[in-house]
Amino acid sequence: MPYSVALAGKGGTGKTTLAGLLVRYLVERGKTPVLAVDADANANLNEVLGVKVPDTLGNAREEMRKGQVPSGMTKDVFISMRLQEAISEHDGFDLVVMGQPEGAGCYCAANSLLADFLDKLTGNYPYLVMDNEAGMEHISRLTTHNVNVLLLVADASRRGLQAALRIHALARALHIGAEKTYLVINQAKSEPLPEAVAMIREADLEYAGTIPEDDLLYAYDSQGRPTIDLPSDAAVIRAVFGIFDRIIA
């Protein structure tokens, strides 16, 4: 099984950016190949990585559900073929995108498809990075399970921290199998206040560090430039690489 890192947190905390920078970190450290999985229905990890998405797992599932299987081909063969086509291959890493949910109904079928596909796929990769949807849906549906590191991302607001602590509590209650769980505070103007530190300690959660606000990161986002291409001396790169050095095996 690969060494796996799953990222979770409230929307807008920057977890997708951190997922992309973690892929960059692993590639630069020679920990390859990496399988990056965008398990967020609002998929944009590819934009952080600066790559195109050939297809999604959700599209493959919908084609099968609608009976768009060629004559003479079994559903198993069809879905295997379509899922292989959904892998976007790049230097040092591959990307798989779950895609949009199937209409207004439950996303459970697509989650099940992702889990089954990953079980078969991950044996080819020593490292797995999974960017999960905002909130706690992936935890309650157990899309994220048996990971080496669960990285909870909060912004500097009290609501962002409380959301991360709720995810931590739910993950522990559901016994998802995370060997280590860390909290990182992103987009911070300063180190966390004593009150925030006390909340983290009370939750029995390990604090990984703070990532500062970075005008250069904001400029890249505003211009639609892949944040994975930030220069090595950028403040956010120095901060996240320092954190990853401490928490990634």
Predicted pLDDT at 244: 97
User: Span 27-41, mean pLDDT?
Assistant: 91
Q: Tell me the pTM.
A: 0.88
At 68, give phi and psi (nearest 5°): -90, 45
Predicted pLDDT at 101: 58
> What's the token pair of residue 151?
């990285």
User: Span 180-200, mean pLDDT?
Assistant: 87
Supply the DSSP string of the chain, one letter for each residue.
Answer: --EEEEEE-STTSSHHHHHHHHHHHHHHTT---EEEEEE-SS--HHHHHT------HHHHHHHHHTT-PPTT--HHHHHHHHHHHT-EE-SSEEEEE----STTS-SHHHHHHHHHHHHHHGGG-SEEEEEEPSTTHHHHTTSS-S-SEEEEEE-SSHHHHHHHHHHHHHHHHHT---SEEEEEEEEESSSPPHHHHHHHHHTT-EEEEEEE--HHHHHHHHHT--GGG--TTSHHHHHHHHHHHHH--
Q: What is the pLDDT of residues 3-20, one digit of tens each?
A: 999 998 888 889 999 999
Contact 174, 142 (CB under 8 A): yes
Domain residue limits, the chain: 3-247
Predicted pLDDT at 140: 46
Q: Which of 146, 141, 36 is nearest to 92 (CA)?
A: 36
User: Span 82-89, mean pLDDT?
Assistant: 88
Cβ count within 10 A of residue 209: 18
At 57, give phi and psi (nearest 5°): -65, -35
Fold for domain 3-247?
Rossmann fold (3.40.50)
Contact 121, 4 (CB under 8 A): no
Predicted pLDDT at 109: 55
The 3-state secondary structure of 200-233, one letter per residue: HHHCCCEEEEEEECCHHHHHHHHHCCCHHHCCCC
pLDDT confidence tier of residue 160, bands split at 50, 70 and 90: confident
159 pLDDT higher than 90: no
Q: What is the pLDDT of residues 124-143, one digit of tens each?
A: 899 999 998 765 555 545 45
> What's the token pair of residue 210?
């703070």
- For the chain, the average pLDDT equals 85
Q: What is the pLDDT of residues 173-187, one digit of tens each?
A: 877 778 899 999 998
Residue 66 carries which side chain, given as an amino acid letter? K
